[in-house]
């Protein structure tokens, strides 16, 4: 295996981000609470080797197509492509073990307050068509904003869906009790994607109004998380659903706000993609331990994965457009931190 490298970016206020070229990962985001106490607000493991083929994809970049593709099949121009099955009966986050970009060592170089990571994915890689060149650039600035820019190009028509699977706990890593159930989440999403019991979208894009999926005015994450009378919560053992972003037009705009009352920390998430997968760490138990031997429990972290819709290549009504030669895939995510 190529060398695993860590990079620390520190802004003028002493706030820092720690990155790894294994899986183009976020290992730490160290920001203050309302009293000025700096702490890491994302989940991490104790050792580099713990990140290989971990179930939660902690802080990593999955690909070639993140989230699910039903039965591992999709069709382009009349040709069917077959991918590995690694989640029940489905293809998840790019496939088994080293097939996923999340389990590869990326080339990486620090340039000022940015780290540029790149990966070459050959034609046929994990069953996907086309030679794909991928670049992920992380930038940390004095305004306490972490930006992740993805770009990708191909020499043959293919599907691409890149995101980052960082898990947040805005209480900070030094607080080991309570998880994220008291966090307050607001989503600019009046619709979500219902799924079957394997979390494959049915094709419907349904209103959240009057359901536990309604975060439009802000909602305590744990309020209805175990309301298993609602299919989406039963199927995911909590929240594990994609929300459709309102007024999507391909520009970068704020789409989510996560806050934690006790510490005053707040994170505003922006993207130029049409969907965001909310996952409340419903299967964190059994994953590698955190720093200091901490044993993770369910709901210890919350992920907000900006992306194209899951299984979109198999749903024409989702409006997904495959990547063509001569085009550039471009996805930007921004995490803006503050405390009040």
Instruction: State the residue for tokens 């493991």.
Output: 45
What percent of the chain shows pLDDT beyond 70?
99
pLDDT at position 175 over 90:
no
Which of these is catalytic: 260, 305, 315, 331? 305
Mean pLDDT across the chain: 97
Triad 103, 310, 219: Cα angle to 5°: 100
CA distance 90 to 80: 16
The predicted structure's pLDDT at residue 2: 80
The predicted structure's pLDDT at residue 40: 96
Read off the pLDDT of each residue in 191-197 and give the average, rounded to a whole number: 98
pLDDT at position 111 over 70:
yes
CA distance 307 to 63: 11
pTM confidence score: 0.97
Read off the pLDDT of each residue in 218-244 and give the average, rounded to a whole number: 98
CA distance 277 to 91: 16
Read off the pLDDT of each residue in 153-162 and give the average, rounded to a whole number: 98
pLDDT at position 1 over 70:
no
CA distance 173 to 58: 14
CA distance 200 to 299: 22
Read off the pLDDT of each residue in 187-198 and give the average, rounded to a whole number: 98
pLDDT tens for 41-91 read 999 999 999 999 999 999 999 999 999 999 999 999 999 999 999 999 999
Burial class, 221, CB count within 10 angstroms (exposed 0-12 / middle 13-18 / buried 19+): buried
DSSP state of 177: S
pLDDT at position 217 over 70:
yes
Is 109 one of the annotated active-site residues of the chain? no
The predicted structure's pLDDT at residue 167: 98
Quickly list H helices, the chain.
231-236
- Percent helix, strand, coil in the chain (nearest 5)? 10, 40, 55
| pLDDT band (50, 70, 90) for residue 295 | very high
Is 305 one of the annotated active-site residues of the chain? yes
What percent of the chain shows pLDDT beyond 90?
97
The predicted structure's pLDDT at residue 46: 95
CA distances from 282 to 68, 300, 306, 324, 326 (A): 17, 9, 19, 36, 40
pLDDT tens for 134-152 read 999 999 999 999 999 999 9
Contact 60, 165 (CB under 8 A): yes
The predicted structure's pLDDT at residue 292: 86
One-character DSSP codes across 184-229: EEEES-SEE--B-TTS-B-S--EE-TTSTT--TT-EETTSSTT-TT
Query: Could you give the count of Cα atoms lying within 13 Å of 138 in the half-sphere of its Cβ?
Result: 32
- Ordered by where they begin, the domains of the chain are 6-339 (2.70.98.10)
Three-state SS for 117?
strand
Which of these is catalytic: 93, 165, 315, 331? 165
The predicted structure's pLDDT at residue 262: 94
Q: Which residues contact 149 (CB under 8 A, 6 or more apart)?
A: 135, 136, 137, 139, 330, 331, 332
pLDDT at position 130 over 70:
yes
């Amino acid at each position: 295996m190529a060398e695993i490298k860590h990079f620390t970016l520190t802004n003028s206020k002493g706030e820092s981000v720690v990155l790894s070229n294994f899986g183009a990962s976020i290992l730490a985001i160290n920001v203050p609470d309302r009293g000025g106490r700096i702490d890491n607000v994302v989940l991490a493991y104790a050792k580099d080797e713990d990140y290989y083929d971990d179930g939660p994809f902690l802080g990593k970049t999955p690909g070639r197509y993140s989230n699910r593709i039903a039965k591992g099949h999709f069709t382009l121009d009349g040709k069917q492509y077959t991918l590995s099955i690694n989640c029940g009966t489905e293809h998840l986050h790019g496939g088994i073990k080293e097939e996923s970009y999340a389990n590869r060592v990326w080339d990486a170089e620090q340039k000022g307050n940015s780290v540029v990571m790149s990966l070459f994915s050959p034609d046929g890689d994990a069953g996907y068509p086309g030679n794909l060149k991928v670049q992920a650039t992380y930038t940390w600035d004095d305004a306490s904003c972490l930006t992740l820019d993805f770009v990708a190009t191909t020499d043959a028509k293919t599907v691409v869906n890149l995101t980052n699977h960082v898990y947040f706990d805005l209480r900070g890593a030094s607080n080991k009790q309570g998880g994220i159930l008291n966090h307050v989440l607001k989503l600019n999403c009046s619709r979500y994607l219902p799924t079957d019991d394997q979390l494959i979208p049915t094709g419907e894009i349904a209103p959240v109004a009057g359901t536990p999926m309604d975060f439009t005015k802000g909602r305590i994450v744990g309020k209805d998380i175990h309301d298993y009378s609602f299919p989406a919560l039963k199927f995911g053992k909590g929240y594990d659903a994609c929300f459709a972003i309102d007024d999507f037009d391909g520009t970068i705009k704020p789409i989510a706000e996560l806050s934690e009352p006790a510490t005053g920390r707040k994170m505003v998430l922006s993207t130029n993609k049409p969907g965001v997968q909310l996952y409340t760490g419903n299967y964190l138990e059994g994953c590698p331990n955190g720093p200091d031997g901490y044993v993770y429990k369910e709901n210890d972290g919350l992920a907000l994965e900006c992306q194209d819709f899951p299984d979109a290549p198999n749903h024409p009504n989702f409006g997904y457009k495959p990547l063509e030669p001569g085009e550039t895939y471009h996805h930007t995510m921004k995490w803006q931190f503050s405390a009040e």
